[in-house]
Amino acid sequence: MEFLKIEHLCKTYGKGEGEVKALSDVSFTVPKGQMVAVIGPSGSGKSTLLHILGGVERPTSGTVWLDGQDVYQQNNKNLAIFRRRQVGLIYQFYNLIPVLNVEENMTLPMLLDGRKAKKERVEEMLKLLGLTERRRHLPSQLSGGQQQRTSIGRALFTSPNIILADEPTGNLDSKNSAEIIALLRKSNQEFNQTMMIITHDENIALQCDRILTISDGRIVEDVLTHQT
Amino acid sequence: MNIQSTLAKRYIFSQKRHSVLTICSIAAAISLMTILFVGFSVVLNFQRALEYDEAPYHCMVESITAKQAEILCEDPDIMSCEIIEDPSNPDIQQGQILFRKFIKDELVVIERAFAAAGLPMDDEAGNSSFYLNTELMQYDLVGIQAWYTIATYFALFFVAVILLVMAMRLVIDTAFEISSKERERQFGALQSIGATPNQIVKIITLEGTFFSLIGIPLGLLCGIGLTYLVYAMIVRNGLLEIAYTPEKIERLLRFTVEPWMLVVCAGIGYFWVWLSAYSTGMRIIRMSPIQAITSRSNTVERVKKHSIYGLLCGWSGKLAARNARRSKKRFWITVVSLTISITLFSTSSYAINGFIDSYERYLVDMGVNYDFLVTYAHKSENALAYLDAITELEQSGYFKDIAFETGTWGKITDNSDYESISILYYNQTTYENFFYDKPSVSYEELKESGKYLLLAYPSDGEKIKNVLDEDSLSANIAHWNHLSVEAYEALTPEEQEQWHPETQFDEQSGEEILIRYDSITFNPQTYPILKNIPYSDITLDAPEDDTLEDGLGSIILVGAIETYEQCYTDYGFPAREYEFHCNLAEDDSYYDAVRFLEAHDTLSLEWDVYRMNESNRSTFTITRMIVTFLSLMLAIISIVNMINIISTGILNRRSELATMQCIGMTKGQMYRMTVIECMQYVLTSGIVASLVSIAIMVITAKFSQLMTGEALESVIDYTGPQPMIWLCTAAAFGLALVTAFFSIQGLRKQSLVDQIRSID
């Protein structure tokens, strides 16, 4: 069953001589619960694709369907609500809010939605992420791995339908990287979440169900590694 | 062109927003300095012009010939000597001398020039033959005293300059810190590829120089323009009219710009820019290249867990409170500068006006509502001698509203000794002044009736109450008897006991000499009463219903001076000295009026209230002008700081703001958070300003009370400045919102991805 459907997606930056085509006519579908690795050389359009899928950046043309909904048919306000409820974003450099502690950073999408985080859910997530002891710590007081786990906690907290991770282990050592991927895999299996992970690490890509290779803004290879 | 210069220029053009902000900050700081210098010059010139207008000379010679004036002008230290006619004696010519500036000892010059011209230093009576206008001398730096006075003025001015220079440094520093903070990693990268610390510092100081090339001339122009605006505002709004006539202000208050002042402003400005750039450079090179490359400008080590804004506005309030305090130092600098400027702007006028009102009210309550107190000493036996003095004062043409009172005192009949009564006779002017121009019985009516008004002062006056009659009052009135020394000596010792010696100071011998013997006897008199006057009619403080029946202490009977003229013989020997209150007929005739009284044999100036008030008003006016300038400057500083901090706070956090939007923050939620952030600055400032203002008004009231010795709370409106404070706060809030709005709009030109990547 198609959960995510991308049709003829194009993204162009700049105009005239400075025009850069980041994505050219990209189309593919992803079923619910699939964990997809996106690989490709630098500047190939991986991050652009991820941001377009996450409702962060509007495409120049083409459509993105998520769970039967045309994402970019929505106005900006609804797009923001879409992001907070349906999407979980994870960045290489974590992008935590420096004035909020671990618990507050994790529950921020919930607060933005005007809801109060359930205590049990907070405890569950902190335990899952191994951050119970660090819940009151600010980002500046955490290690890189802990910051990324907080970032994952923020992405997973609202149990979104899709998790988009832009090189989540790019800034971490191998031990922390393995832990993070295991965490994502666990979440993917437990909550049947769809995941797209940009990575340069072949081992991580091989742990995913499918590998999409992008080059010069086009999908040049689409390989299933496991049968889902 | 070397690489440092190329890099400096490239950085300026690549960071347009920061460059514009830095140039604006420099321009604002320079304009403040220009306002201070030009303002000081305008005030000083105005003061000098006022003095010159009143008396256009440094030295006035009482009597001089044209030839003598010509000889005086030949002295190298005398600039001019103008001959004018003595207003009180057309046969005498006076000389108005102007010295050259920067003379150390004017008396040496006078002595030398007078000797050459054959002018005496003293007149025949032994008095000085010249008069020195020390006020004008001090502005023209004539005489050693002038140097001290001007040095004091300049010392105060330089205190203000130093304070302002510190504030300037703050503005320029903030601008440099913000722009360099953004480029720490770039400087780190430059160092890592071999740039020396000196080269890094040079890049930043060169940037400062380039910014100064635009910022300093812009600041000078803005400063001159703003000062002119304040000048025009003062002239048009009549701010000075409390102290000077509109004609005088228009004629004497001139807007002038001294070129040397602009050079000094530009010099100080450039020095501070260079120093700010240099210290920023030094801060950067103190970091190792790797520290600079990996530094995160927005690292937060501690946050305030609970805040009032968090409680009131939820998570957005909490975030806003934490964001605003990420740089506590800058937050409090902005709040303090905003508070001071709002307080000064809103409260100073009220405080100064309150003080002036209370002071003037005090003078009126004390009965000092005139320009001069003149005494008339005479040797005449005629009790109506005062009429001659009135005629002389009137005929001089320098005085108007000549008020005069005389009277006697006594004891109330059938009562104990201490219940006294005063019988006062007023002329029309004094009478009307006494009742604040609103007498319940007109002077004409009082004069025609030949009766008295009865005024009773509340006290434990039950005894007095008993002796009051509805139509008349009986009293034993003091009657002065005089006896010559020879007649006294002829009396028996028992008879002599009733007489008291009357002495007079002899100026020649410097001793008190016996002139006669006096005694007082009390003769019964009955005074017809026209009306009982409530106590509230003659004082502004008394309650409305505090009337005669409420208890009495002493009695005053007021009659018309014409009544006195009919019955003065009842009181025995006339007074030797009378006092007159009068006003100056025309503002321009002050010096002539004073000279008239000084030259007069029997009339003399006892108290120069006009000069005292003029001096006080002048002080208040200058204070008001200085405070207006100061509050304007502080307002500019605080506004520039607030704009800097809010806009750069948003710019520096663009990655965070973008992240929050990526995880679902709507545009509305972002604006709400920003509005709360802005509100924190201005609301905190508004609340503190409000409290400080009340404190200032209380201190003003207490100070007035200390000065005047009376409770004057009713005159000073403690809450008067509050509407203005909150209006200023609202204006600052509006400005903060506009700044935040444009900063966010500026961010929105970039995609969220680009904003997030500003860190990555």
Instruction: Look up residue B637 and give its two tokens.
Output: 């500083």
Query: CA B692, CA B678: separation in Å to the nearest integer?
Result: 21
Among B300, B307, B655, B662, the residue to mutate for chain A (most A Cβ within 10 A): B662
Same domain, B329 and B401: no
| Dihedral of alpha carbons B629, B632, B635, B636, sign | negative
In sequence order, which residues have a C-beta less than 8 Å from that of residue B751 and are 6 or more positions away?
A57
The ipTM is 0.79
Q: Which of A154, A204, A211, A159 is nearest to A182 (CA)?
A: A204
Q: Does B660 touch chain A (CB under 8 A)?
A: yes
Asked if residues A91 and A187 have their Cβ atoms less than 8 Å apart, the reply is no
Query: For residue B472, what are the β-bridge partners?
Result: B528
Q: Which of A128, A145, A129, A146 is nearest to A137 (CA)?
A: A146
User: pLDDT > 90: what percent of chain A?
Assistant: 38
Same domain, B285 and B147: yes
Amino acid in the structure at residue B734: G
Same domain, B283 and B317: no
Residue B690 lies in a domain: yes
Same domain, B68 and B169: no
Nearest CB partner across the interface for A56, out of B315, B319, B753: B753
Distances (CA, A) of A128 to A59, A106, A184, B136, B541: 35, 13, 11, 86, 79
| Dihedral of alpha carbons B374, B380, B381, B382, sign | negative
Q: Residue B612 half-sphere exposure, CB side, CA atoms within 13 Å? A: 13
What DSSP line would sit under B736-754, residue for residue? HHHHHHHHHHHHHTS-HHH
CATH number 3.40.190.10 is the correct assignment for the domain at A2-224: no
What is the predicted pLDDT for the residue at A23? 92
Q: Does B510 touch chain A (CB under 8 A)?
A: no
Query: CA B552, CA B455: separation in Å to the nearest integer?
Result: 10
What is the predicted pLDDT for the residue at A210? 94
Ordered mean pLDDT values, 10 residues apiece, chain B (760 residues): 75 78 83 84 84 86 85 87 77 85 83 87 74 84 79 76 73 74 73 76 89 92 87 72 69 84 89 87 77 58 72 80 77 81 80 74 75 81 77 88 80 60 83 77 90 71 56 79 84 86 72 81 84 64 43 72 78 66 84 83 85 76 72 76 80 84 87 88 90 85 68 66 90 91 83 69
Among B663, B669, B671, B760, the residue to mutate for chain A (most A Cβ within 10 A): B663
Q: Which of A219, A194, A186 is nearest to A66 (CA)?
A: A194
Same domain, B723 and B702: yes
Instruction: Look up residue A55 and give its two tokens.
Output: 């409702």
Q: Is the pLDDT assigned to residue A61 strictly greater than 50?
A: yes
Residue B340 lies in a domain: yes
Same domain, B559 and B417: yes
SS3 state of residue B724: helix
Residues in A whose CB is inside 8 Å of some CB of B read 47-48, 51, 54, 56-57, 76-77, 80-85, 89, 91-93, 95-101, 108-109, 111-113, 138-141, 154-155
Query: CA B585, CA B685: separation in Å to the nearest integer?
Result: 50
In A, minimum Cα distance to B751 occurs at A57
What is the predicted pLDDT for the residue at B577? 67
Query: CA B298, CA B652: separation in Å to the nearest integer?
Result: 8
Residue B462 lies in a domain: yes
What is the predicted pLDDT for the residue at B347? 81
What's the gap between Cα B125 and its chain centre? 41
- Provide the shortest C-alpha distance from residue A14 to chain B (in Å): 12
In sequence order, which residues have a C-beta less than 8 Å from that of residue B526 and are 6 or more positions away?
B472, B473, B474
Asked if residues B299 and A97 have their Cβ atoms less than 8 Å apart, the reply is no
Asked if residues B536 and B543 have their Cβ atoms less than 8 Å apart, the reply is yes
- Provide the shortest C-alpha distance from residue B640 to chain A (in Å): 26
Asked if residues B293 and B189 have their Cβ atoms less than 8 Å apart, the reply is yes
Residues of A in contact with B303 (CB under 8 A): 99-101, 138
Same domain, B161 and B271: yes
What is the predicted pLDDT for the residue at B317? 82
Q: Which helix (H) or strand (E) holds A162?
A: strand A162-166
In A, minimum Cα distance to B670 occurs at A112
Q: Please list the alpha-helical segments (H only) found in B457-538.
A: 462-467, 485-489, 493-496
Look at strands B420-426 and B399-412 and give their pairing. Answer: antiparallel
Residue B581 lies in a domain: no
Query: CA A98, CA B298: separation in Å to the nearest integer?
Result: 7
Residue B726 lies in a domain: yes
Contact check, Cβ <8 Å, A154/B666:
no
Specify the number of domains making up chain B: 4
Instruction: Look up residue A150 and give its two tokens.
Output: 């907080």
Same domain, B188 and B269: yes
Residue B672 lies in a domain: yes
In sequence order, which residues have a C-beta less than 8 Å from that of residue B133 and are 6 or more positions away?
B51, B55, B57, B58, B59, B60
Angle (CA) A165-A171-A173 rounded to 5° is 115
Distances (CA, A) of B415 to A11, A53, B160, B529, B551: 112, 109, 65, 19, 16
- Provide the shortest C-alpha distance from residue A47 to chain B (in Å): 9
- Provide the shortest C-alpha distance from residue B8 to chain A (in Å): 26
Query: For residue B483, what are the β-bridge partners?
Result: B517
Query: CA A132, CA A176: separation in Å to the nearest integer?
Result: 17
pTM of the model: 0.62
Q: Which of A68, A212, A54 is nearest to B663 (CA)?
A: A54
Same domain, B226 and B283: yes
Maximum Cα–Cα distance across chain A: 55
Query: CA B29, CA B27: separation in Å to the nearest integer?
Result: 5
Instruction: Tell which B residues from 266 to 325 touch A, by Cβ distance under 8 Å.
Output: 296, 298-303, 314-315, 319, 322-323
Q: Which of B484, B520, B485, B517 is nearest to B500 (CA)?
A: B517
What's the gap between Cα B414 and its chain centre? 54
Q: Please, which pLDDT band fits residue A60 given cuts at 50, 70 and 90?
A: very high
Label residue A124 left, alpha or beta by phi (over 0 means left) and psi (-120 to 50 means alpha).
alpha
Instruction: Look up residue A84 and give its two tokens.
Output: 């907070």
* B386 vs A151: which has the higher pLDDT: A151
Query: For residue A2, what are the β-bridge partners?
Result: A31
Query: CA B237, CA B727: separation in Å to the nearest integer?
Result: 20
Contact check, Cβ <8 Å, A112/B665:
yes
Instruction: Give the relative orientation of helices B609-652 and B144-182 as an angle to the nearest 10 degrees.
Output: 10
Query: For residue A20, what are the β-bridge partners?
Result: A13
Query: CA B81, CA B97: separation in Å to the nearest integer?
Result: 4
Query: For residue B473, what are the β-bridge partners?
Result: B527
Mean pLDDT of chain A: 88
Same domain, B451 and B544: yes
Same domain, B51 and B185: yes
What is the predicted pLDDT for the residue at A220? 94
Q: Which of B635, B604, B611 is nearest to B728 (CA)?
A: B635
- Provide the shortest C-alpha distance from residue A226 to chain B (in Å): 30
Instruction: Give the relative orientation of helices B259-286 and B144-182 as an angle to the nearest 10 degrees.
Output: 40
Q: Which helix (H) or strand (E) holds B657?
A: helix B654-662
Q: Where are the beta strands (DSSP E) in B397-483?
A: 399-412, 420-426, 452-457, 472-483
Instruction: Look up residue A222 and give its two tokens.
Output: 């689409």
Quote the DSSP letter at residue B88.
Answer: T
Contact check, Cβ <8 Å, B751/A57:
yes
Range of the domain at B90: 56-132
Q: Does B760 touch chain A (CB under 8 A)?
A: yes
In A, minimum Cα distance to B657 occurs at A97
In B, minimum Cα distance to A97 occurs at B656
Asked if residues A171 and A148 have their Cβ atoms less than 8 Å apart, the reply is yes
Distances (CA, A) of A197 to A73, A207, B664, B753: 25, 11, 20, 17
Query: CA B103, CA B105: separation in Å to the nearest integer?
Result: 6
Instruction: Look up residue A80 and give its two tokens.
Output: 């923001």
Same domain, B458 and B404: yes
What is the predicted pLDDT for the residue at B729? 92
What is the predicted pLDDT for the residue at B468? 59
What DSSP line would sit under B303-369, residue for residue? --S--HHHHHHHHHHHHHHHHHTTTHHHHHHHHHHHHHHHHHHHHHHHHHHHHHHHHHHHHHHTT--
Label residue B118 left, alpha or beta by phi (over 0 means left) and psi (-120 to 50 means alpha).
left
What is the predicted pLDDT for the residue at B545? 44
Asked if residues A205 and A199 have their Cβ atoms less than 8 Å apart, the reply is yes
Q: Which residues of B414-437 are buried (b: 16+ CB within 10 A; e: fewer)?
A: ebeeebbbebbbbbbbbbbbbbee
